[in-house]
Structure 1
Amino acid sequence: MKAYIPATQIEKTGIIRFVPVNISNKDLYSKLSSIYEIIAVRRFTKKVGQDRVPLQTVSITFLSHVLPDNVQYDLFSYRVFEYVPPLLQCFKCFKFNHAAKVCNGKQRCSICSGDHFYKECDRPNELCCANCSGPHLAISKACPVKLKKIMEKKTNITYASKADTRKVEYPALPDKNKIVRPEKTTKTQSQKIALSTPAETPKFDIKKELLHNTDLMNALVSTLIELANKTDSNPITNNSIKDTYAY
């Protein structure tokens, strides 16, 4: 079995705007700099007739689970925005968040919402959305159900991005050739190990011992009284205490 970390946990895609269309993806990838490693750059395009026209919006994928605030290109700084992928809509039942190839629903018409393919529709002027029954196509951006799904997706992505601000570091996976499996220990071996382990030595509390030793306490009190009654001017030192106690 092979273990791996899902890309969604260690990669994050954002977008930058107003990037001149004459800058290629290759130049952007080689010259863009960020606090996080950049692993992919892609410029958005749109289809006009038979051609693909480049746009000024560019997506950037970072090796990080959070987005940086900005990226630099030469002397320019571009703000990084959250990337919200397009809402997935089925072209069979025209519901959301699944594709037609895995759809278990009935065939619906995107024009009149009937149970047929849109090319077989005999009522092309009677528009009826399959989701909200409104007077528009089922794929229309004006559909209130579709707009609600888009807003929910944006909200979920933004919330997840703000909630996960901790820096996560994943440890490297161990080399399977260097894994050392522990040997089984029998009950007898466990008993031998327990017997061979030295018991913890209790700590010696000198104050406690002093309070419980009556003779020692009496000698100490007598020494302190004798030193307090001294009439000479000699200072009390460790040696003078020892001499008085010994006497």
Structure 2
Amino acid sequence: MYDGTACTAGLHQAIAVYPKELRHEDFSARDDQGSLWRLLRMIAAVPDFPEMDALLGSFSYKNWYLSPSGALRYSSDATVLIKGKDKRVKRGDKVYGFDIRQTFTPDEGSVPRSGPKWKESRRWALLFHAVFSNPKSYKAQTLYGQEHFHRYCKRKKLRVSGVVKTVGEWLYGGNSDDPSVSTEGLDLALSTFWSHSVNAPAKAWSTLKRSLARHDINSAPDAFAKDLLRRLGRSTYGRWNFSDRNGRWARTRLSAMRSGYWSADLFKPGGVMPRNL
């Protein structure tokens, strides 16, 4: 629970609320909630899961419920305090992001080091931890992470050099099933990009757009993969640079190698993701 998101959980770090939506409160909950609630909806379908039942019970105590569509909503009509103002809500209304963050991480994302608010925040953290650390939730986490990755890496629309296309259209011509365009190296590059986007979305997407601006569909199949990975690995943002032996590049590369999903040749000096750039 950090960075003003109220709660971050799951394999791809799904967030409870969008901090940017709360930065300038418009007293509309329409765009406040992140992807955590859709992930929890999938996990809630797992049978015989007392830890999930305990979390849902705590939501109920707060006058919240998890809707079938994967949103956190108010259980009954009520008055809630949002940024010092009393706001009337009806049953079925989406829960305000401010209400969520103030519940999980008071005050407004900055949890005190001690006292009642710290204890309450700790209680919620343990409830979420009990769900997401339980192997019963792993399959749902994996499936949702894959769907989330596919949706954003293949369907998200980007404007590059004045042209708007989905990532899939930029890279695959809209057909990612064609083996001539969907290579193992490209799969590794986009997976690495996604890992970086979880850490810093804006920086990762801007890096992807720079690579797309140089992309030539007539170039070698892995030319784009190499370009994107080198841009990520040579970045000076945070701990992304390849020279940091315990940074994101090194740790992501090691995890990818150990996973066994990709050929070892991709990680050799002549591959798309060597140790040194």
* Bin for the TM-score computed over the shorter chain: under 0.3
Calculate the TM-score normalised by the size of structure 1.
0.27
Higher relative contact order (CA 8 A, sep 6+): 2
Say which one has the larger Rg: 1
Structure with more strand by fraction: 1
Structure with more helix by fraction: 2
